[in-house]
Structure formats: structure tokens, C-alpha cells
């Protein structure tokens, strides 16, 4: 698959980028995408929510009243969950949400997501560029020139660039990552992808 490479002013550079068919033109596997997205979201959870049960509440354990003859329900202590300030029943406790997927399955999910974007013509290739300083307006203008503004955009760089990242940080619909950070969730959570020329070669090299 060939895609034209654009300059940051929106004009074509005259070059074409070759996208590997085994990455950008496979038959997408929806279940692999589902498993990878579930794993990614689960791994973002800290799992440190905690409430106190009745064994952890600082109250007296003195019995509130006699067992029978009081005219009401029997109670043991103020630690019971029915009292204000009592312990919570079946409350959350710290737990580990992380799970693991095989590398081949994650690779299949990532290639499936990229193939979906390629089928939707949602990938724009741009020449390598740099920014001398963090400038949000300038970065927004580049996206507008590439017709990638006004929707969720994933910008993939071959290597980290602090100025480009800082320029995009105040744009809520834009996510800038490096090729090392590319993942199925980020791809599927975007409406369009802007890939810097050279990213496709790194992906193809790692697929071997």
C-alpha cells in the first residue's frame, strides 16, 4: 500500500510512503483488539481503593443494650454497618487488576487496528519536521493544513520531541506518542492518524 507524503503546509512532497501489507492490510481480528484494549485499560487501574470494614473501625466493642427485652433489634456494637460511622460491608479493598497477553496476540491486535485505519483512509503521512519552541497555534495550524483537525487525532513520531509534545498538550483532541508507545487502544481511540514518514519502516522492522 502506498500513501502520498505531505509537507506541513498541506502540499504533497512528491514522495510516497510504502506501508507493509502484513501490518496495514491484514484481515482485522476484532476479538484480538477487544482483548488488547481490555488489558490496556485494566493495566491503567491502580487498584488502591479501600474502605474500612467493622474490624477496622475505632469504636468501643461494648454491647449497646441487653440481648432481649429492649423492644428493638439486638445489637452488638457501634461498628455494625447499620450505624453512622460503622464499617462498610463488602467494600473495595486493594487489588491487582493487571493481566498479561501473549506478544503475538498483542501484535495481531495492533496490526488489526492499523489495518482498520488504513481501510478507512484515516492515515496521513507527513514529512519529518521539528519545532524550535513549543507553540500550540503553530502545531494546530499544521494539523489544519493536513485536514486532521476537529477530531481525535493520533500523531505518531519516530522519536521523542519535547517541543512537539508540549505544543500539543493543550489540544484536548490530540494525542502525540512515539512509535515505541503505539498501542491498540490509542489507535482505536482516534478518528485519524498522522504518521511521520519513517514510522512505517520502524514498524515493519520490528514485525520481522
Give backbone dihedrals phi and psi of 122, rounded to 5 degrees, phi first: -105, 10
Long-range contacts of residues 45-48, Cβ cutoff 8 Å, at least 24 apart: 45/97, 47/94, 47/95, 47/96, 47/97, 48/94
pLDDT of residue 201: 92
Q: Which residues of the chain have pLDDT under 70?
A: 208
Domains and CATH numbers, the chain: 2-45+103-207 (3.40.1370.10), 48-96 (no CATH)
Pinpoint the alpha helices (H) of the chain: 21-24, 30-43, 103-119, 136-145, 162-168, 184-188, 199-207
pLDDT of residue 60: 86
Angle at which helices 199-207 and 103-119 cross, to 10° = 140
**Residue tagged 520490528 (cell numbers):** 206
Is there a contact between 154 and 183 (Cβ–Cβ < 8 Å)? Answer: no
Question: Is the pTM above the cut of 0.95?
Answer: no
CA dihedral 204, 124, 149, 110 (to 10 degrees): -30
- DSSP character at residue 181: G
| Sign for the pseudo-dihedral over CA of 122, 127, 128, 131 | negative
DSSP bridge partners of 18 = 2
In this structure, the number of other CB atoms found within 10 A of the CB of residue 178 comes to 17
In this structure, the number of other CB atoms found within 10 A of the CB of residue 132 comes to 7
pLDDT of residue 206: 85
Angle at which helices 103-119 and 30-43 cross, to 10° = 110
CA-closest candidate to residue 52, choices 94, 84, 95, 91: 91
pLDDT of residue 208: 65
Amino acid at each position: 500500500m502506498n500513501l502520498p507524503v505531505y509537507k506541513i503546509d498541506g502540499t504533497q512532497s512528491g514522495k510516497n510512503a510504502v506501508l507493509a501489507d502484513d501490518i496495514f492490510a491484514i484481515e482485522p481480528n476484532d476479538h484480538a483488539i477487544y482483548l488488547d484494549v481490555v488489558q490496556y485499560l485494566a493495566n491503567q487501574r491502580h487498584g488502591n481503593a479501600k474502605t474500612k470494614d467493622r474490624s477496622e473501625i475505632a469504636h468501643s466493642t461494648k454491647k449497646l443494650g441487653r440481648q432481649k427485652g429492649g423492644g428493638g433489634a439486638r445489637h452488638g456494637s457501634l461498628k455494625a454497618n447499620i450505624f453512622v460511622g460503622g464499617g462498610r460491608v463488602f467494600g473495595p479493598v486493594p487489588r491487582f487488576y493487571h493481566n498479561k497477553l501473549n506478544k503475538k496476540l498483542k501484535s495481531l491486535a495492533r496490526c488489526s487496528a492499523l489495518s482498520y485505519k488504513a481501510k478507512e483512509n484515516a492515515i496521513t503521512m507527513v514529512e519529518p519536521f521539528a519545532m524550535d519552541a513549543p507553540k500550540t497555534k503553530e502545531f494546530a495550524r499544521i494539523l489544519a493544513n493536513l485536514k486532521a483537525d476537529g477530531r481525535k487525532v493520533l500523531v505518531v513520531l519516530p522519536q521523542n520531541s519535547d517541543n512537539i509534545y508540549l505544543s500539543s498538550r493543550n489540544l484536548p483532541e490530540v494525542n502525540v506518542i512515539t512509535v515505541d508507545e503505539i498501542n491498540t487502544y490509542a489507535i482505536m481511540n482516534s478518528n485519524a492518524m498522522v504518521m511521520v514518514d519513517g514510522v512505517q519502516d520502524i514498524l515493519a522492522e520490528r514485525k520481522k
